[in-house]
Structure 1
């Protein structure tokens, strides 16, 4: 500890000297004095203790002197020269034929352990195979399966991603990745992994099933948000209008229930961020004014005030203005 304490005492002396000679601005001196005290306490160095100072001091040298000597020495030997540059790490050697053969034996051992549900032992075998031949995507993919079997899905995700990095066309790795991310509850990423696998192997039933399951778990708000964030040309045709009506109707049902074609719960609608975003868009471009001036909507509201009940979804969608709004929302355009 004494050498470290010598260094600490030299630092404290340097900082005190900087305060005395005006190197440190007046406004910063108090903070520096507190720092000096904390440094001394942390290393049990008391610069006011003459006995300790006699033992630890490097005088007549100072920290500044030592630093200057180091810089001058460095300049003399040529700092940054090729001789002083750190050696470039050598590229890992390619596995030999013997390495690959032994790695295959370890893979077979790992597969046997997987069949026996000895997952930790399987992981150990696959890890040894990877050490011998890190260029084989199968070993990472198999270890990902073993990790998933132990419910260690984060580790499985990393291995599946490494397998894809080694061999982007190794289809099974996409299934491992999608499964692990699905188990972690990241359904968007799971769907993306399954989808990439299906693109490589369109006939793979497991990948298609995984994709279907992942897409089914994606929240409806995510789908709606995606459609609103991707501008599309509406074209005003019947297909676009149909998509708009269906999309808005589904959205309202999701937001408020609205069973039997009725209106959704108003509190749920106003608490939904997506509906608030739509309302702000309508207010910004005059859409709300057009809706409020709509005679058909005014008649519906008068009926409600007189106790006639809320209008149904079918009744709302029969109005051209509401149909136009629905078309714009469903097609991804701002109202």
Structure 2
């Protein structure tokens, strides 16, 4: 098998031939769309590279990575790469996906060979100062598919996933703890009786602007800035493009005309991804417990839309487990070159 790479800087390089067809055929969500990759790369805190993998000349998959250099960055990154650092493989724009995927469903040994080709090629591209690759969101059983003899494993927050095989919400309610079920129903009745509150569920482009989404996301992002390699806040141009497309759903809570709560969902025929939640605190005009009601609306939408399930994402694992989600173990794997 001959593996070759097309290594792209989305800020400057044109979209590769057939990229949109490749993305959609592989079932990848909208955050891999090239215009969004470009907007994400311009806002990122480290240079971003998209690599398309070719096997004997045919596209076989892709890898997205940030180049974590030795010099600390503040704000947006400098135009040039560092001479040394670590290749951080992660999905662009969210941490509920992996940063690598394949066309079709290759066997584990073929996946390993494709990723071995990626590691060799990216090392040649970057030079000897780059010492390791970090693979994020590695699921149980996957370490054997990743190349490298020495692997350092760091457990990370589990990924919450909820299957939605029911005909209606009652089927879901029947699976969760009675106290949780009663509180969800009680809060839903309270919100329905609030004359100032309106709730809409539908395509994001019909319900919210990029500026509104950016304002609520920025408030939520501040809670997570202390973690290692935090995601940079998604800028308004990125969110303008994201919510203006056809593959994003929204749950929007408004008090009068003012947006006070917003959930964005990356739609998918099988497993949509809950990308983000943001809300105003009660002291500035929000409502208590909108966060929980948002899950009720998401599950109701997924059931009605015939989706196999929802990816609830990371964080708040105990809450999501109480809502019936399965927690899939996840880890980061550091592999020295």
What range describes the TM-score normalised by the shorter chain of this pair? under 0.3
Which of structures 1 and 2 has the bigger CA Rg? Answer: 1
TM (norm. structure 1) is 0.22
TM (norm. structure 2) is 0.22
Higher strand residue share: 2
Higher helix residue share: 1
Does 1 or 2 have the higher relative contact order (CA < 8 Å, sep 6+)?
A: 2
